[in-house]
Chain A
Amino acid sequence: MPKNEQLQKILVIGSGPIIIGQAAEFDYSGTQACHALKEEGYTVVLANSNPATIMTDDTVADKVYMEPLTVEFLSKIIRKERPDAVLPTLGGQTGLNLAVELDNAGILEELNVSLLGSSLEAIQKAEDREKFRTLMQEINEPVPPSEIVTNEEAAVEFVAEIGYPVIVRPAFTLGGTGGGMCDNEADLQHIVKNGLALSPVHQCLIEKSIAGFKELEYEVVRDKKDQAIVVCNMENVDPVGVHTGDAIVVAPSITLSDREYHLLRSVSLKIIRALEIEGGCNVQLAIDPHSFEYYIIEVNPRVSRSSALASKATGYPIAKIAAKIAVGLTLDEIKNPITQTTYACFEPALDYTVVKIPRFPFDKFTTGDRHLGTQMKATGEIMAIGRNFEEALLKGIRSMEIGDGDYHLPNLPEADQLDLINRMKHPDDERVFVIAELFRRGMTMEEVHAGTKIDYYFLRRMHHIIEMENELRKQPFDKEILLKVKKYGFSDKQIARVWEAKEDDIYRFRTEKGIKPVYKMVDTCAGTFESTANYFYSTYETENESEVTGKEKVLVLGSGPIRIGQGIEFDYATVHSVLAIKEMGYEAIIMNNNPETVSTDFTISDKLYFEPLALEDVMHVVELEKPAGVIVQFGGQTAINLAAGLQERGVNILGTGLEAIDRAEDRNKFEQLLEELNLIRPKGQTVGDNNEVLAVANEIGFPVLVRPSYVIGGSQMEIVYDEEELTNYLQKVPTINPDKPLLIDEYITGIEVDLDAISDGETTFVPGIMEHIERAGVHSGDSIAVYPPQRLSENVKAKCLDATDKIAKALNVVGLINIQFIIHGEKVYVIEVNPRSSRTIPFLSKITGVTMANLATKCILGETLSGKGYQTEILNEKENVYVKLPVFSFEKLRSVDTTLGPEMKSTGEAIGYDRTLEKALYKGLTASGLSIPFEGSVLFTVADKDKAETYHLAKRFDELGFQLYATKGTAEYFAEKGLPITAVGKIGSGDQNVLSLINQGKVQFVINTLTSGKQPRSDGFRIRREAVEHGIISLTNLDTVEAILNVIDSTTLRAQPMMDKGAIQS
């Protein structure tokens, strides 16, 4: 059926900032959708507030609105653009929720805008738990016994009927936010209350637990002719009870017989048909391991994280096909983009096994609750392809960048047996390693099965790996056994551990013996049709299908799984680098392992190797392709970390050299560099002895910034204000010694500045400088960045440029460089230099119009900046003000402290822009998910050192008509200064205390600053957590408070008495 000619302009809704449960996969799907719609000749208008995405590039859609994804702003866009239709099903839960809200607001009807993809009815039937259950009853499909409740009492009553354990699931939330499993009444009360608060419709579903069943997902696609197919099914290794997003998953399912497979397939198709979805849909099911009894867990009437995974796992681009279906095309007329000869109406046949492993943020949130349950906690994931489960699993494990890539965590052999057993039974993020350790210790399969309910198939495969380790151990440097374990995915590292040798030795031995992998194509049809897609994975077999061309090639390394500190921004830069390489006529080859991203869309590069980003895997590609060089600077720390090993093995690193990275990262060399260049940095010292810490700190002068040197990514970095806090801190970090010293820096209160530049070694061009709202001390990724800077003098900017130029030259930077400064008065301190792509590249590129990664790539490949008309300068500032705001996922991460500090905690970002800073901030805050209250109450509870400063802020809240509450000390302080304030009791006291105020939703803001020493279980911590869990704005930085006050102030008309008292007396 031909496409719909009635439509001309389509508004695509993106998914907004990245949060746990809604991540880069929607950039991939959104980008595909926009491309697909443009391909069909439509005008595409895109709304997405996430500047870090590829989809918001002006080349992807015809018009891009990076406005907040709210009804207010979308209505404005719709009024202005008058699209014929809205496509919400590629924008995740955000897109769907907005579609419903837009409809409720009546604007779609008013302006005659149609909805593509899923009808509102379908969305509601799938999303509203009660309607969903009704539908399932109508079509005779089973769901676990459950009941919708709107208060805790009803929950308790219902459970009395069905018995524990039960699952609580709030309606209309994503990634299982606010849900959980409970087996007692106290937990039930707590979780239900929480869930009700988080559910936009104030509903929770209480459901009988079916934990332990096999969990399966079917990715289905349907068109308007009612043709429907299953693109892929997936089986969770972790059975029901662990959120699919947090589970290790295989595709296709392995332990289902044809009967079970097709039983669930027809159920899935029946559901998508019943919902009449035109596009993609995700069906989650559970099946009893001992019978054919099954249940429907849920249905997502849209593309999802799993559909991105299924697309990468099969080569079948679901989002692209879904977009075409949305405009009326049908499966039997859309070409299969991989084969180009067959059609999209078929079910891919895989001739490999795919494993997905989630990536968790607990390397950052060391005190966070690591247990896995029905609420998703992973920030990202990796995918690995192999010709057997073991191979895919082990390739996956070395893609995770946990430990050193071996299927072995060094701390586990020391762990107590009971502790391990406990961790096996109550899954956390490291369970797959715990199981390996238990097998190494001789635990039986039956015991592990009893403790985990993981299917024997998977356990035996894991056990097989350990058996092979033992076999391997007995035959050091034996070629046959080496080849065997390679076929099962063993890394050189793992082999090196077992053979007690060095990774390099294994690599050399292997090369000598000619043991190397071949590459096979992902082609949707198991080799039965000719295919053109250059999408490959490695395996140890006999036929290599990756044909090496005669063209000059450049290999780009991607950034691996998304985690805190290394987000989608790096994928953005990677993609632009690839595009630039293609523009320059080279063959662009990419390696990456993240199934969620645009960079692993096989149409982006000339060749895609879906492989672990580990040294041996990169070497294999290099040896085959013999590229002119490898670009590492866009792939974040993942790629940078590979540079040294690659260079050692003779690989040419293109652009900025290894030495520059080393000089920027090694503290001593860094200090030396700055000294040579006459630049200043905060005073600092490295201390290798506990006894010297206090003396050094005193010498530098409190407050000081402390961090263990060996911890990556700023974790365990803290600001301490006095000796007591320092002593507390020392108790929390492992003992220091000369090998693992502590770094102590002078803490400078000043304006933090982020700057990104491009250099070709001669010229250093700065597209823009960003200034942070929060003073230094809040990680640059967690603070609000403002462009152009509002408080910097021309002199300071010139100094920043000068410093950048000097550093870039000294380091011989060719490509991108990111520098963070602290400005104190007119003094410019350099705190960090990253000679690589940074988090701010997409933001800055988009607002300045300079596609930095593209330009940098061209420099890397030999073009000069001057040749392109650039010189050493800061580009003229734009007139509008642009702000970048951090977005957190604290709702999902229990027990993680929300206080902002030098450790990064945010998972995503949002943009706001307008004529003034306040307007830009208003939009940015809205886009980041805060709805700013213009009236109401504020609760203060701040540390002594912050009281004076807070007073001024409290006063402004008062003037704006807010009611003030505060804990005793703070209240007294304010009252003394004449502010009307209500004092409330501490936690646990009286009927009205801080917590009850929060629990009852009586306050709109909670302003809390850190008291001493950051003890996780302090009152402050509880207050912050309660606020988050009740969806109340919790602010821990006074600069953020001030910024928000300015926003409220600028938009509020306040009631104020006339100054002249006499004149108005009546």
Chain B
Amino acid sequence: MTKRKLILEDGTTFMGEAFGSNQSTQGELISNTGMTGYQEMMTNPSYFGKIAVMTYPTIGAYGVNRDDFESIMPTLNGMIVKEACQEPSNFRSEETIAAYMEKYNIPGISGVDTRKLTRHLRKKGSMRAFIADEADEVTDTSFVSSKTAEEWIQKASIVKPYIVPGRGKRIVLIDLGMSQSILHELTEKGCHITVVPYDYSNEDVQAYKPDGILLSNGPGNPDKAVKTIRAVQTLLGKYPIFGIGLGHQIMALAYGAKTKKLHIGNYGVSFPVKEIQTDRTWITTQSRSYYVDENSLKGTGLEITHRSLNDYTIEGLSHVRDNAFSVQFHPQGAPGTNETNGLFDQFIQNMESNAAQNGGQTHA
């Protein structure tokens, strides 16, 4: 077995064995605590540029199947595991995780004390790292740099719009790196969805005469996504808006709020979020390194609707005047629970009430 090493920004290295591709790679190191859902995670565009440390020790036990992708191509840069299962068992399994990663050039390292690594990140805060061959003499990690946010989003988004037809509400979904399951949730409710690239112009969006606009999840540092923020700004107040994940941050930024980076990101499927109005807590899936700073809300018209039960950071916002709301977590789940998918219904209701109030068009 080929030995490989993971070198962290702070110089710490971890040795292990290669699996997947033999390439070298770099990225932002995050710990993912999900015990299932690696396939969804690897293909979730929010994970663009990331190297994931899987805290659950056996990854790949149920293989990789053709149904559970969150985007067509994998998005992850690399994966660090304790053990990569070579003999998966599940009726849908078609290949091993190693074979899949090899096919798409994603390197992985197994045999790592992933708990030690996770604890290291918890103490030192999130950092970048790269995966190299054992023999590679790399001591200087300063060159490990991440792309700019805009670049990530561009990578994660699409080039041309496409339509997922339906007979219900007409939604323009701005794809900042959308997980497929968002589409599933909306199509299940009969929506007519036009998925557009992140930099689609304001006029083009309006030309679709949408009932509402959904800002999807996606990767990267939101406040650097200047183009997208500006585009969204022009839509504010004109259409009902629903932001998810990065979309939530973009919406907040568009209204003038600020975002900040977390000490370590939230990547996993068990993040409790309190819905303030109902005083109920939900279990949510998250993949984020940033949060909207509460102190920056003043004057934006944004109100907090959800908070993290763990650290009280903002998890949801809505606008006092405009028909716009957003959540930091992923109500579509996948991986994880979609128990908060009522938010999609809320979005549809918002569109309906908007139509009733403003005489907006409805489309049969």
Most buried by A among B90, B115, B119, B335: B115
Contact B55 A255, beta carbon cutoff 8 Å: no
Which of B136-144, B279-287, B293-301 contacts its partner? B279-287
Contact B116 A541, beta carbon cutoff 8 Å: yes
Which 4 A-B pairs rank lowest in CB-CB distance, beginning with the nearest?
A526-B55, A543-B116, A457-B89, A258-B37
Measured CA separation A349–B56 after assembly (Å): 8
Contact A258 B118, beta carbon cutoff 8 Å: no
Q: Mark B300-316, 1 if CB is under 8 A from A, else 0.
A: 00000000011000000
Residues of B within 8 A of A352 (CB): 57
Contact B119 A350, beta carbon cutoff 8 Å: no
Please judge, given known A-B contacts A229-B283, A525-B33, whether A256 and B337 are in contact too, CB under 8 Å.
no
Smallest CB separation, B90 vs chain A (Å): 6
Select A543's contact among B113, B274, B281, beta carbons within 8 Å.
B113
Please judge, given known A-B contacts A353-B57, A528-B33, whether A225 and B89 are in contact too, CB under 8 Å.
no
Select A527's contact among B37, B92, B118, B272, beta carbons within 8 Å.
B118
Please judge, given known A-B contacts A259-B68, A388-B58, A527-B122, whether A346 and B115 are in contact too, CB under 8 Å.
no
Measured CA separation A353–B82 after assembly (Å): 12
Which of A261-269, A611-619, A707-715 contacts its partner? A261-269
Residues of B within 8 A of A332 (CB): 272, 274, 279, 281, 309
Indicate if B61 sits at the interface (CB-CB under 8 A): yes
Measured CA separation A1028–B82 after assembly (Å): 52
- Chain A to chain B contacts (Cβ below 8 Å), 11 pairs: A225-B279, A227-B282, A258-B36, A265-B337, A332-B281, A345-B283, A389-B58, A520-B115, A526-B33, A541-B113, A541-B115
Smallest CB separation, B105 vs chain A (Å): 24
Smallest CB separation, B111 vs chain A (Å): 9
Smallest CB separation, A339 vs chain B (Å): 9
Measured CA separation A529–B309 after assembly (Å): 13
Contact B281 A350, beta carbon cutoff 8 Å: no
Q: Mark B74-99, 1 if CB is under 8 A from A, else 0.
A: 00000000110101111110000000
| B-side interface size class | 35 or more
Indicate if B22 sits at the interface (CB-CB under 8 A): no
Contact B122 A351, beta carbon cutoff 8 Å: no
Contact A351 B55, beta carbon cutoff 8 Å: yes
Measured CA separation A530–B310 after assembly (Å): 12
Select B36's contact among A256, A346, A527, beta carbons within 8 Å.
A256
Which of B214-222, B224-232, B246-254, B263-271 contacts its partner? B263-271
A924-980 CB contacts (< 8 Å) to partner B? none
Indicate if A140 sits at the interface (CB-CB under 8 A): no
Contact B283 A258, beta carbon cutoff 8 Å: no
Please judge, given known A-B contacts A266-B339, A332-B309, whether A226 and B280 are in contact too, CB under 8 Å.
yes
Residues of B within 8 A of A158 (CB): none
Closest chain A residue to B63, Cβ basis: A257
Please judge, given known A-B contacts A257-B68, A258-B334, A457-B89, whether A349 and B118 are in contact too, CB under 8 Å.
no
Indicate if B333 sits at the interface (CB-CB under 8 A): yes
Smallest CB separation, A314 vs chain B (Å): 11
Indicate if B114 sits at the interface (CB-CB under 8 A): yes
Closest chain A residue to B333, Cβ basis: A262
Smallest CB separation, B17 vs chain A (Å): 12
Smallest CB separation, B159 vs chain A (Å): 29
Please judge, given known A-B contacts A265-B337, A289-B91, A332-B274, whether A351 and B56 are in contact too, CB under 8 Å.
yes
Indicate if A348 sits at the interface (CB-CB under 8 A): yes
Smallest CB separation, B278 vs chain A (Å): 8
Select B119's contact among A257, A456, A543, beta carbons within 8 Å.
A543
Select B56's contact among A289, A347, A350, A545, beta carbons within 8 Å.
A350
Please judge, given known A-B contacts A252-B35, A345-B309, A347-B283, whether A387 and B57 are in contact too, CB under 8 Å.
yes
Closest chain A residue to B270, Cβ basis: A347
Indicate if A1066 sits at the interface (CB-CB under 8 A): no
Residues of B within 8 A of A347 (CB): 269-270, 283
Measured CA separation A347–B282 after assembly (Å): 10
Contact B272 A346, beta carbon cutoff 8 Å: yes
Q: Mark A213-240, 1 if CB is under 8 A from B, else 0.
A: 0000000000001110100000000000
Please judge, given known A-B contacts A350-B35, A543-B116, whether A457 and B309 are in contact too, CB under 8 Å.
no
Contact A456 B89, beta carbon cutoff 8 Å: yes
Q: Mark A905-925, 1 if CB is under 8 A from B, else 0.
A: 000000000000000000000
Contact B92 A257, beta carbon cutoff 8 Å: yes
Indicate if A190 sits at the interface (CB-CB under 8 A): no
Contact B36 A269, beta carbon cutoff 8 Å: no
Indicate if A290 sits at the interface (CB-CB under 8 A): yes
Measured CA separation A388–B86 after assembly (Å): 13
Indicate if B71 sits at the interface (CB-CB under 8 A): no
Q: Mark A1-13, 1 if CB is under 8 A from B, else 0.
A: 1000000000000
Measured CA separation A526–B267 after assembly (Å): 12
Measured CA separation A265–B337 after assembly (Å): 8
Closest chain B residue to A251, Cβ basis: B35
Please judge, given known A-B contacts A527-B118, A542-B113, A543-B119, whether A388 and B82 are in contact too, CB under 8 Å.
yes
A508-555 CB contacts (< 8 Å) to partner B? 520, 525-530, 541-543, 545
Measured CA separation A332–B278 after assembly (Å): 13
Please judge, given known A-B contacts A460-B89, A528-B31, A541-B116, whether A258 and B270 are in contact too, CB under 8 Å.
no
Contact A526 B91, beta carbon cutoff 8 Å: no
Please judge, given known A-B contacts A225-B279, A332-B274, A455-B89, whether A255 and B337 are in contact too, CB under 8 Å.
no
B333-358 CB contacts (< 8 Å) to partner A? 333-339
Contact A349 B270, beta carbon cutoff 8 Å: yes
Smallest CB separation, A53 vs chain B (Å): 34
Please judge, given known A-B contacts A342-B310, A525-B33, A528-B118, whether A460 and B87 are in contact too, CB under 8 Å.
yes
Select B337's contact among A266, A289, A343, A350, beta carbons within 8 Å.
A266
Please judge, given known A-B contacts A225-B279, A256-B36, whether A527 and B90 are in contact too, CB under 8 Å.
no
Smallest CB separation, A840 vs chain B (Å): 44
Closest chain B residue to A463, Cβ basis: B87
Smallest CB separation, B249 vs chain A (Å): 21
Measured CA separation A995–B268 after assembly (Å): 62
Contact B57 A388, beta carbon cutoff 8 Å: yes
Most buried by B among A290, A342, A542: A542
Smallest CB separation, B306 vs chain A (Å): 12
Residues of A within 8 A of B271 (CB): 346
Contact B55 A331, beta carbon cutoff 8 Å: no
Smallest CB separation, B58 vs chain A (Å): 6
Indicate if A411 sits at the interface (CB-CB under 8 A): no
Please judge, given known A-B contacts A255-B90, A343-B309, A543-B113, whether A269 and B122 are in contact too, CB under 8 Å.
no
Contact A351 B115, beta carbon cutoff 8 Å: yes
Indicate if A291 sits at the interface (CB-CB under 8 A): yes
Contact A530 B58, beta carbon cutoff 8 Å: no
Indicate if B9 sits at the interface (CB-CB under 8 A): no
Please judge, given known A-B contacts A258-B336, A349-B34, whether A528 and B55 are in contact too, CB under 8 Å.
yes
Residues of B within 8 A of A120 (CB): none
Closest chain A residue to B15, Cβ basis: A542
Measured CA separation A225–B270 after assembly (Å): 19
Please judge, given known A-B contacts A349-B34, A353-B58, A543-B113, whether A530 and B92 are in contact too, CB under 8 Å.
no
Closest chain B residue to A526, Cβ basis: B55
Measured CA separation A541–B88 after assembly (Å): 24
Please judge, given known A-B contacts A332-B274, A346-B283, whether A527 and B62 are in contact too, CB under 8 Å.
no
Indicate if B175 sits at the interface (CB-CB under 8 A): no
Contact A290 B40, beta carbon cutoff 8 Å: no
Select A254's contact among B61, B113, B280, beta carbons within 8 Å.
B61
Indicate if B157 sits at the interface (CB-CB under 8 A): no
Residues of A within 8 A of B333 (CB): 262
Measured CA separation A227–B92 after assembly (Å): 32
Contact A349 B281, beta carbon cutoff 8 Å: no
Measured CA separation A352–B88 after assembly (Å): 18
Residues of A within 8 A of B270 (CB): 346-349
Smallest CB separation, B37 vs chain A (Å): 4
Indicate if B65 sits at the interface (CB-CB under 8 A): yes
Indicate if B194 sits at the interface (CB-CB under 8 A): no
Contact A527 B119, beta carbon cutoff 8 Å: yes
Select B55's contact among A259, A349, A353, beta carbons within 8 Å.
A349
Measured CA separation A823–B310 after assembly (Å): 66
